[in-house]
Structure 1
Amino acid sequence: MTAAAPPPPTGRELSSPPTDGISNLRFSNHSDHLLVSSWDKSVRLYDASADKLKVQFVHGGAVLDCCFHDDSSGFSASADHTVRRLVFDYKNEDILGRHDAPVRCIDYSYATGQVITGSWDKTLKCWDPRGASGKEHCLVGTYMQPERVYSLSLAGNRLVVATAGRHVNVYDIRNMSQPEQQRESSLKYQTRCVRCYPNGTGYALSSIEGRVAMEYFDLSEASQSKKYAFKCHRKSEGGKDIVYPVNAIAYHPIYGTFATGGGDGYVNVWDGSNKKRLYQYAKLPTSVASLSFSRDGRLLAVASSYTYEEGDKPHEPDAIFVRSVGEVEVKPKPKVLSNPAA
């Protein structure tokens, strides 16, 4: 009997991938379903374990973000200015509302039952998906931002919004009338991604300069003294430091460690508390555009999709890799205490 071939080092590649840049991918909170948005104007729903494309929606413009409501429905944010609700089983979609410019990011708040969108029109909008489609009463509120919205993240009642100009607004979503905190990124260059810590105490922020900043909500001196930034996704070549953008951050749901994906094609796993890199996966064919761990942390989905950090040039086709995650890759290593008697 011939032994089964070992899985490739990059993970198993899903069939029927998007045909243009992958903007985001997300695992469901309830299953191994994976929702993927793309510049080819599509949103695709896969069963990642079975490598099956279940349904595909096509919009009027590039789709810049997507999220789940539950296993039967989700939402999308499009460059055609629309926010859409997607019903998977019936292959139906309707327009929840609109912005005045491309909608860059979207998330669903389980705490409030609202959809939250951020746009390049410099606004944040909250929608009640239970309202009638396309009607104004779907819109709960519009909140001006200092610049174009690039990324947002939710943890419980906290919402963090990162915009152009290195602005960061922190909201309590129970009172959106004004930000709880207005900050400036501690990184020098354009923000790429923000993700809240799973325990709700702060957020990680990445930028185009190959750095990640670890921040805390608590403004006390003790908490603020714990914040730090570190370099990653860069290499030395010919005596020069080549720096890549950190496009994606994803937290492991069990251990609270996190993965970063960069324009260098690598995924690194970090123990933020102990300031250590735990693991580096095999190099992907091109830039890592997005990352997502499954609900139980067994799987990691990686979007291998060129993000144009080196300009318009020939590149590998877009692909989605799903790899099994070993405990050694994501579990923090215990601190070794020195023996005072030694």
Structure 2
Amino acid sequence: MDQGANQFEIANPPADGISRVTFAPEDSSLLLVSSWDKTVNVYNVEENALKQKFEHQAAVLDCCFSSNDRAYSGGVDRTVRELEIDTGNSRALGSHDDAVKCTNWSDLTNLLFTGSWDKTIRTWDPRSGEALQGTYHQPHKVLSMDILEDKLVVAMGNRHIYIYDVRNMNETLQKRESSLKYMTRAVGCLPTKDGYASSSTEGRVAVEYFDPSPEVQSKKYAFKCHRQVQNDVEVVYPVNGLAFNKVYGTFATGGSDGIVNFWDGINRKRIRQFPRYPDGISSLAFSHDGKKLAIACSYTYDEGEKDHAPDTVYIRNLTESECLPRSALNGKSA
């Protein structure tokens, strides 16, 4: 594809499907990439160079930073690993009884939260001699999680969504059924801290709010996206990537159709759509300053085994006009 001056591919991408991309919390040059090739790679995107490579025994399904120099990962080998970015050292904190699907760091508690196909969420204190701090049983496999301050949103099988306070995992704040009819692919907390968005295999995104009052609940909505009409038939694509730009309050979605859309959630409008990428989008991440977007272009096997483009990550340097909500853009043009 024509990348243009504001976008480039990372050098030395993973050799197999990309499961997660995520930027360091305070350094927009550091990007963490987990892959089905059993590795977690750290890239310096300013230099377009591979900085570190960490190994697992099987496919890695998720990764997260806790600080600019420390990260965590988990995957099919069931092991939760701590990664030291500067030294390249890693160690196992412990394990689940099935694949580790989600890793999320809580700044509020200084604990790592992991979600697994073994139907548990586990908490870990890497500084403690006994890293495992708690095991919390869930009704279904954990598919996606996100943490923002005190809230943990957990998306599970059978369309279950549980909301926790990270300071008290013994009680569930809310138990919900997703308003989306099919399996959840991604969940993310709204930067406004009052709710979350989720995406599904049916080419839809839902925006929901924590406050259970009827007045607030009346504001929730869902919309169709990542659909194309081919030969007069609407083809629906899973929405695999969901990421919020915390500086501008807008968000991006990426689908198996190879499309990345930017959305203004407040005004319920699409801001822009980027030209199609060579393959599906498996993960998206904004840098902390809102100026970069990492786009994992990677076949997600929605259609089984088939020839596909090489897996890679694009880094897009964003302009303010690409990210601003519609209302702000209109104000600037007025």
Q: TM-score, normalised by structure 2?
A: 0.96
Q: Match of 2:326, SS?
A: coil
Aligned to 2:221: 228
Structure 1 Cα separation of the partners of residues 227 and 3 of structure 2: 27
Structure 1 Cα separation of the partners of residues 286 and 198 of structure 2: 18
Aligned to 2:136: 143
Q: Which runs of 5+ in 1 are unaligned?
A: 1-5, 338-342
Structure 2 matches for 1:257-272, cutoff 5 A?
257-272=250-265
Structure 2 Cα separation of the partners of residues 324 and 42 of structure 1: 26
Match of 2:53 among 51, 56, 70: 56
Larger radius of gyration: 1
Matched, 1:36 2:29: no
Structure 2 Cα separation of the partners of residues 255 and 10 of structure 1: 19
Structure 2 matches for 1:100-249, cutoff 5 A?
100-132=97-129, 137-249=130-242
Aligned to 1:286: 279
The one-letter code matched in structure 2 to 1:215 is E
Match of 2:17 among 21, 24, 28: 21
Aligned to 1:332: 325
Post-superposition offset of 1:260: 0.2
Matched, 1:311 2:304: yes
Match of 2:270 among 277, 290, 309: 277
Post-superposition offset of 1:48: 1.0
Contact 1:10 1:281 in 2 (8 A): no
Structure 1 Cα separation of the partners of residues 179 and 237 of structure 2: 18
Aligned to 2:4: 8
Residues 189-213 of structure 1: per-residue CA shift (max 9 Å, x gap): 0000000001210000100000000
TM-aligned CA distance change 1:110 to 1:8, over 3 Å: same
Contact 1:80 1:102 in 2 (8 A): yes
Post-superposition offset of 1:143: 0.6
When the two chains are superposed, the root-mean-square deviation of aligned CA atoms in Å is 1.4
Structure 2 Cα separation of the partners of residues 225 and 241 of structure 1: 29
Q: Which runs of 5+ in 2 are unaligned?
A: none
Aligned to 2:83: 86
Tell me whether 208-217 or 8-17 shows the greater mean CA deviation.
Answer: 8-17
Structure 2 Cα separation of the partners of residues 238 and 188 of structure 1: 25
Structure 2 Cα separation of the partners of residues 56 and 26 of structure 1: 15
The one-letter code matched in structure 2 to 1:143 is Y
Matched, 1:301 2:294: yes
Q: Which segments of structure 1 move beyond 6 Å, counting only runs of 4 or more? A: none
Structure 1 Cα separation of the partners of residues 68 and 6 of structure 2: 27
Residues 162-201 of structure 1: per-residue CA shift (max 9 Å, x gap): 0111100000111110210000000000000000001210
Structure 2 Cα separation of the partners of residues 333 and 211 of structure 1: 21
Tell me whether 307-316 or 144-153 shows the greater mean CA deviation.
Answer: 307-316
Aligned to 2:43: 46
Q: Match of 1:334, SS?
A: helix
Structure 2 Cα separation of the partners of residues 30 and 10 of structure 1: 22
Post-superposition offset of 1:10: 8.2
Structure 1 Cα separation of the partners of residues 75 and 232 of structure 2: 42
Count of matched residue positions in the alignment of Structure 1 and Structure 2: 328
The one-letter code matched in structure 2 to 1:93 is S
Structure 1 Cα separation of the partners of residues 210 and 263 of structure 2: 20
Structure 2 Cα separation of the partners of residues 155 and 256 of structure 1: 14
Post-superposition offset of 1:302: 0.3
Q: Match of 2:327, SS?
A: coil
Q: Match of 1:141, SS?
A: strand
Structure 1 Cα separation of the partners of residues 86 and 250 of structure 2: 34
Q: Match of 1:204, SS?
A: strand
Post-superposition offset of 1:8: 2.5
Contact 1:21 1:39 in 2 (8 A): yes
Residues 215-266 of structure 1: per-residue CA shift (max 9 Å, x gap): 0000011110000000000011111100000001000121110000000001
The one-letter code matched in structure 2 to 1:108 is W
Structure 2 Cα separation of the partners of residues 154 and 89 of structure 1: 25
